[in-house]
Homo-oligomer: A and B are copies of this chain.
């Protein structure tokens, strides 16, 4: 296949590297700024720097940009995308993105399959991309209205480039789950490091500090967009989190050891039942 990747950040760049490492497809890169394109070309992560003609000849287009930019890219180039070409995104939210891209797919005759690779790092940009970023990770696929054959092509490709698990979902289920599994931990990490005590933590901290604060090293432009585009499920999760913090706090404040033990035991049992 001729695969065009739009946006060579950490995710697009990792798709390029993984496709070159694990498949024989021909990889074409498109990016707003020239730096990552030249880097990707010189290290062999792409075969060619693309243009509008590349889009007309694409069998697959991978959107590696932020959600809004991904929709804008497809809107702008929709008339160039060949019939039957499979377009996949990589956005961390789906309810705002998938219907728009499914609509464009219907109108222009290409196939759109929603994809969320559950992998990342604290670093960003092409420099942080990695051919094995997806190894063992979960790949969430939102088939939407795409033909079964296209969905299967995407799933097969995902397995080939290292994903360890393929999960099929709907935009709504995806966004509800991601609000909890990914967005809330980022909100928690940012809120956590805002404590005035944080700056003096060294020597007094170990794994617990490290783990909860890790993703506070955040790309604020990307995550502000993701948070606002997933407002309702995320706010629900922040509310649940805040209520649970207050329940634990109340038990501490009352000095009610048996109530506090019962609350903490509930959490331990949830983890144990999950086998974690």
A100 at the interface (CB under 8 A from B): no
| Min C-beta distance of A191 to chain B, whole Å | 4
Q: With A118-B206, A216-B271, A257-B224 in contact, do A241 and B181 touch (Cβ < 8 Å)?
A: no
CA distance A264 to B185 in the complex (A): 13
A211 at the interface (CB under 8 A from B): yes
Give chain A's interface residues, CB within 8 Å of chain B: 118-120, 137-138, 140, 165, 167, 169, 174, 176-182, 184-209, 211-221, 223-225, 227-228, 231, 234-235, 237-242, 244-249, 252-253, 255, 257, 260-268, 270-274, 276
Q: Whose C-beta in chain B lies nearest to the C-beta of A211?
A: B211
Q: Which residues of B contact A138 (CB under 8 A)?
A: 203-206
CA distance A194 to B237 in the complex (A): 11
User: Which of B245, B246, B274 has a CB less than 8 Å from the CB of A199?
Assistant: B274
Are A174 and B267 in contact, CB atoms less than 8 angstroms apart?
Answer: no
Are B202 and A274 in contact, CB atoms less than 8 angstroms apart?
Answer: yes
Q: Whose C-beta in chain B lies nearest to the C-beta of A197?
A: B180
CA distance A264 to B224 in the complex (A): 8
Copies in the complex: 2
Q: With A237-B195, A244-B191, A252-B231 in contact, do A268 and B220 touch (Cβ < 8 Å)?
A: yes
**Majority secondary structure of chain A interface residues (helix, strand, loop or mixed):** helix
What are 21 A-B contacts defined by CB distance under 8 Å?
Answer: A118-B204, A120-B207, A138-B206, A140-B204, A167-B203, A180-B195, A180-B198, A180-B209, A182-B208, A184-B195, A188-B188, A190-B264, A193-B271, A195-B240, A212-B212, A216-B268, A218-B267, A218-B268, A231-B253, A235-B252, A238-B249
Q: With A194-B270, A195-B237 in contact, do A204 and B188 touch (Cβ < 8 Å)?
A: no
Are A192 and B241 in contact, CB atoms less than 8 angstroms apart?
Answer: yes
Are B181 and A206 in contact, CB atoms less than 8 angstroms apart?
Answer: yes
Beyond the given A181-B209, A228-B260, could you list 8 further A-B residue pairs with CB under 8 A, ordered by the A residue number? A138-B205, A167-B204, A182-B206, A195-B240, A196-B240, A224-B264, A238-B249, A242-B245
Are B185 and A221 in contact, CB atoms less than 8 angstroms apart?
Answer: no
Q: With A201-B177, A245-B242, A270-B199 in contact, do A209 and B194 touch (Cβ < 8 Å)?
A: no
Are B187 and A204 in contact, CB atoms less than 8 angstroms apart?
Answer: no
Q: Whose C-beta in chain B lies nearest to the C-beta of A202?
A: B274
Are B213 and A276 in contact, CB atoms less than 8 angstroms apart?
Answer: yes
Q: Point out which of A138, A239, A271, A273 has the most chain B C-beta atoms below 10 A from its C-beta.
A: A271
